[in-house]
Structure 1
Amino acid sequence: MKFLKISKYYYFESLFAIKIYYAIFISILALLAFSRMSSGGNMSSSGLEFATVIFMFVVGLDSFKSDFYFSQSVSVSRKTFIKGLILGILRITVLMSVIDVFLNRIYNLFVPSPTMFDMLYTTYRDIGMRDHRTLEFIWKQSNEIHILFNTFIWQFALYTFICLVGLLITLIYYRSNKWMRVVVSISPVIFFMLMRGLGNYLTDFSGSIISFMDKAFGYSNMNSYMAVITFLVAGGIMSAFIYLLTKKAEIKE
């Protein structure tokens, strides 16, 4: 099946960048661990995997043009190309989520460092890192199987969502003319300014938005599966738009 070959091509094409990223990331972790040992053990960190979120966004931004041109040069249909590309993205996000969970557990042997998942969906949210009176570290990371699995699946869904956001943005730019690119570039700023303005005057509206986000991401009841479902459903919707934008995309000289 051609889409599996496209997926494999995209996956192995991305491995070099992933290796470079983790070489830098692991070097930084080693430096931070050394710094903590040198400072007498008074240092902590948190949410370092946010660097992977940024990396996945960049991967998404760089995932279309060259691969699309290659697929068209070998007469692969646009539908097959998109199926292969998204499958390749899923393979990458699975790999990077596994690596990030593993690296975080190793790093925590030297430096207390909750993941973003820990900060949102575990007891860390209630107790924090230190005792406010003694300033001693009181948080201990759980290595129970369900915590490890939930961290992995939450990160996988988040990374996939972010990568698809990057891919959708680059496709919108690719399909747009000069003026539409300007509109697309400034629209997020206008949107957030509008939402902020409405929030100041329409308290019920802003409260409804906050309540919806709370339920969609399972924050109040610490239900990370709601966030996973939200990320994957949003990713599925974006995948449909990505296909529609690719369907009539032309090779640009």
Structure 2
Amino acid sequence: MKAKACFLYQILDLRWALLIYYFVIFCITLLANFSVITMTSSLSIAGEETIIMSGITFSSCIFMFIVGLNSFTENFRFSLQNGVSRKTLFLTRLFTAGTTALFMGLLDQIFHSLINLVGKLSSSPLMSISLFQQLYPTAWGNPVQGFFLSVIFGFCLLFLMANVGYAVVMLFYRVGKLGKVLVGAGVPALLIFGIPALKALDSMYFGERLRAFSNAVIQPVMDFAFNTAPNCMISLLVLAALFALFDWLLLRRAIVR
């Protein structure tokens, strides 16, 4: 009973955020269609020309990352005050993230389909394509198959982003003030300067051995993990599971502050 109540509490807590997010997406979609139709009629753009609209999946990834960032502190305190165990909180949080990711993956693809349908009915050159369609165009041969594969891909990607966001806020919650400064400043600096510095060190001191290792081991693994749609989805779920495990290791000994 506590698990069900905890899940419903977290789901209902997201309803307004989801409603506002998709209202904004809807307004942007309407504005884009109106602008394209107006521009087409005024400039007499040829019918065979196509204007591509994308970015809904990327926007949803940012949204789910922010959801992950905001899914811990208040829920953690509220759950412990009401006798909900850390394990129950963790499992219901995972189920909430998975349910939200599946819902958003489906709704994102419905938006893409509706934009394309409106474009055809209004003779607009605007066409919307999903991130999955951009990455794996050959998997889109059958529209029905492509639709469902895109939904599954969106679920895997959004579920991963929710777990990444949760891991970030958990890490900041567990470390002290100095740790927050080091993580907050060190991770972006490492992402920006780490790879160029590593390449320079490899050239100066290791005789390109690190690059050779990357080409021989890391690159083939990455190619195998993401070269096909099924492999990519499995890889995203594996990464999501690893981040979820990291989340649990941080949560199981977290104290109320």
* TM-score, with length taken from structure 2: 0.84
Q: Does 1:148 align with 2:147?
A: yes
Equivalent positions of 1:1-253 (< 5 A) are: 1-40=1-40, 43-109=51-117, 110=119, 111-123=126-138, 144-192=143-191, 193-199=193-199, 201=203, 202=208, 203-207=211-215, 208-218=217-227, 223-252=228-257
Rounded to whole Å, the distance in 2 between the matches of 1:3 and 1:183 is: 36
> Aligned-pair RMSD on alpha carbons?
1.9
203-212 or 1-10, larger mean C-alpha shift: 203-212
Residue type at the aligned position of 1:161: L
Q: Where do 5+ consecutive residues of structure 2 fail to align? A: 120-125
Question: More deviation in 202-211 or 166-175?
Answer: 202-211
Q: 1:135-178, CA deviations, whole angstroms, 9 ceiling, x for partnerless residues?
A: xxxxxx76622111110111100000011100000000011101
Q: Is the 8 A contact 1:6 1:84 kept in 2?
A: yes
Once residues 20 and 179 of structure 2 are traced to their aligned partners in structure 1, the CA distance between those partners, rounded to angstroms, is: 34
How far 1:47 sits from its partner (Å)?
Answer: 3.0
Aligned 8 A contact 1:199 1:206 in 2:
no
Task: Tell whether the 8 Å contact from 2:56 to 2:108 is kept in structure 1 after alignment.
Answer: no
Is the CA contact (8 Å cut-off) linking 1:168 and 1:238 kept in structure 2? yes
TM-score between the two structures when normalised by the length of structure 1 = 0.85
Going from structure 1 to structure 2, the CA distance change for 1:154 and 1:48 (only over 3 Å counts) comes to: same
Larger Rg: 2
Kept after mapping to 2: 8 A contact 1:175/1:249:
yes
Give the unaligned 5+ runs of structure 1.
125-140
* 1:36-85 residue CA offsets vs partner (Å, 9 max, x unmatched): 10111663322332111111111000000011111011011101110111
Give the number of the structure whose residues are more often helix, by fraction. Answer: 2
- Please state how far the C-alpha of 1:121 moved relative to its aligned partner: 0.4
What secondary structure does 1:112 align onto?
Answer: strand
Task: State the 1:5 CA deviation.
Answer: 2.4
C-alpha separation between the residues in 2 aligned to 1:211 and 1:92? 33
Moved over 4 A (4+): none
SS in 2 for 1:39: helix
> For the structure 1 residues 248 and 67, does the alpha-carbon distance in structure 2 shift closer, same or farther, using more than 3 Å as the test?
same
Q: 1:190 offset after TM fit, Å?
A: 4.2
Structure 2 counterpart SS, 1:49: helix
Summarize the Cα distance change of 1:27–1:58 in structure 2 as closer, same or farther, 3 Å threshold: same
What is the aligned partner in structure 2 of residue 130 from structure 1? none
Q: Percent identity?
A: 29
Q: How far off its partner does 1:189 sit?
A: 3.1
The 2-side partners of 1:5 and 1:107 are apart by 37
Instruction: Report how far residue 205 of structure 1 moved.
Output: 3.6
CA separation in 2, counterparts of 1:188 and 1:22?
31
Compute the displacement of 1:243 (Å).
Answer: 1.2
**Whole-angstrom CA distance in 1 between matches of 2:189 and 2:213:** 18
CA distance in 2, matches of 1:212, 1:232: 16
